[in-house]
Amino acid sequence: MGSEEKCGVLHGKYELGRILGHGTFAKVYHARNLQTNKSVAMKVVGKEKVIRVGMMEQVKREISVMKMVHHPNIVELHEVMASKTKIYFAMEFVRGGELFAKIAKGRLREEPARNYFQQLISAIDFCHSRGVYHRDLKPENLLLDEEGNLKVTDFGLSAFSDHVSQDGLLHTTCGTPAYVAPEVIGKKGYDGAKADIWSCGVILYVLLAGFLPFQDDNIMSMYRKIYRGDFKCPPWFSSEARKLITKMLDPNPSTRISIAKIMDSPWFKKSMPRCLSTKEEPECGKGEETKTLNAFHIISLSEGFDLSPLFEEKKRVEKGELRFATTKPASSVISKIEEVAKTKNFSVKKSDSCVRLQGQESGRKGKLGIAANIFAVTPSFLVVEVKKSSGDTLEYNQFCSKELRPALKDIEWTSTSGNSTLA
């Protein structure tokens, strides 16, 4: 422990308590935020170890990814701090214990097993879409909160020792042997997404069976079974569950089922949890005039009394917003947005002061919905604010950067200094 840990208070903000667990690179402590009095899990990583295996860049990259990963089934990373010798991750503290403590009491019925599995796949799919692979899915990394919701922990942080090589594959064997894909053991390089799907297959098998699919006292015999995909489903598995698990535990990664196909399988879809639908924005009122933006509106759109965030790229992107000023009339703005909508197969609803786009194809989180509101600062100077009303933030950000921004460049107001207002 460093001197700050020994005296029990870290960075003057967190009081460290009992140790919750430890791994190759890290120890995890229970800690209390002295400002809010809330509990956190504090993961402490030794810098020396990470530097010694040449993983410092990976750690930095994983931190930046984890900061943007906010999902109800993933343990949240609140804050990252550092001292000379340590890196500290303040993470969400999950009180309900490990999912597998439930299985210790006996296997689960199909319905609760499916519920946990749907949450697991939702988390894995979300992270894969952002280029993050867990690579060490195992019982200790599946926690439950007090309401019984599944939380995947150590996403992207557990795999410090993995290198992605020139061939784009990972080459370091890690993970708990019983949950590891055959190509990972084989050391020939592997696709992180496919390896995660195998581990999810093992987890689903254990939830339904109450024991592991590949078991042997002799580790080499167990590895041989894993290589061959040599396992049997107990008689109480339904035929749909059996089919899905067999496709997930395919020893050939190139023919192993994808996450999209898992989510489309009959067993997975049997009783989908009702997603908490975001309240739909009211439809554009017909004949509604361009809204006037007074000084109070402008201040409310910025943060505090500093107006720079109105046009600050980073904050806008984090909130999934796009905002720009224009001296063109509202009709020009609307027709430009309509043009983009047509090329990308969006339906359009419009009035004089807003345009709503609705995607026709379902994405990661349903159909993408976008609202563009037009405010008049003066009769000849407008501010246009674009927000996501439904769908996946990553898909929305990609649409904005590849389609919407380039199309709006022509009508966007540029100050006399040549600075763009598109933010």
Q: Which residue has the higher pLDDT, 19 or 157?
A: 19
pLDDT at 276: 32
Q: Tell me, what CATH number does 250's domain have?
A: 1.10.510.10
Q: Reply yes or no on whether the pLDDT at 159 is more than 90.
A: no
Question: Residue 285 domain-assigned?
Answer: no
Q: Reply yes or no on whether the pLDDT at 147 is more than 50.
A: yes
Q: Mean of the per-residue pLDDT values for the chain? A: 78
- In 241-380, beta strands by DSSP E: 291-292, 321-326, 346-350, 354-363, 366-378
Question: Residue 283 domain-assigned?
Answer: no
Q: Reply yes or no on whether the pLDDT at 256 is more than 90.
A: yes
CA nearest to 43, candidates 72, 21, 75, 64? 21
Query: How much of the chain, in percent, has pLDDT values that exceed 70?
Result: 75
Q: Which of 206, 234, 269 is a domain's end point? A: 269
| Mean pLDDT across 81-96 | 88
pLDDT at 243: 97
pLDDT at 282: 42
Most confident of 226-235, 371-380, 395-404: 226-235
Output the DSSP codes for 183-215.
Answer: HHHTTS-B-HHHHHHHHHHHHHHHHHHSS-SS-
State the Rg of the chain over Cα.
25
* 379 pLDDT tier (thresholds 50, 70, 90): low
Is the domain of 210 the same as that of 85?
no
- 3-class state of residue 67 by DSSP: helix
pLDDT at 160: 38
Q: Reply yes or no on whether the pLDDT at 303 is more than 50.
A: no
Output b/e per residue, 374-388; b: 16+ Cβ within 10 A: bbbeeeeebbbbbbb
Is the domain of 199 the same as that of 345?
no
Note the pLDDT tens digit of each residue in 388-422.
888 888 888 888 888 888 888 888 765 444 445 55
Q: Which residue has the higher pLDDT, 305 or 144?
A: 144
| Mean pLDDT across 81-95 | 88
| Beta carbons of 11 and 79 less than 8 angstroms apart | no
Mention every residue, 6+ apart, whose C-beta is less than 8 A from residue 112: none
| Mean pLDDT across 5-32 | 81
Q: Tell me, what CATH number does 63's domain have?
A: 3.30.200.20
The predicted model scores a pTM of 0.62
For residue 373, the cross-strand partners are 354, 385
pLDDT at 195: 92
C-alpha 384/C-alpha 365 separation (Å) is: 25
Q: Which two tokens stand for residue 338?
A: 């309509």
102 is in an annotated binding site: no
C-alpha 225/C-alpha 181 separation (Å) is: 11
Is the domain of 83 the same as that of 115?
no
C-alpha 33/C-alpha 37 separation (Å) is: 5
Q: Reply yes or no on whether the pLDDT at 300 is more than 70.
A: no
**Least confident segment among 74-83, 228-237, 298-307, 363-372:** 298-307
Catalytic residues: 136
Is the domain of 38 the same as that of 175?
no
CA distances from residue 321 to 22, 147, 390, 409 in whole angstroms, order as listed:
40, 32, 13, 16
Q: Are strands 86-92 and 14-22 parallel, antiparallel or unpaired?
A: unpaired
Count of domains forming the chain: 3
pLDDT at 155: 62
Q: Which residue has the higher pLDDT, 3 or 238?
A: 238
Is the domain of 172 the same as that of 210?
yes
Structural domain range at position 361: 291-408
Q: Reply yes or no on whether the pLDDT at 169 is more than 90.
A: no
Q: Which residue has the higher pLDDT, 205 or 297?
A: 205
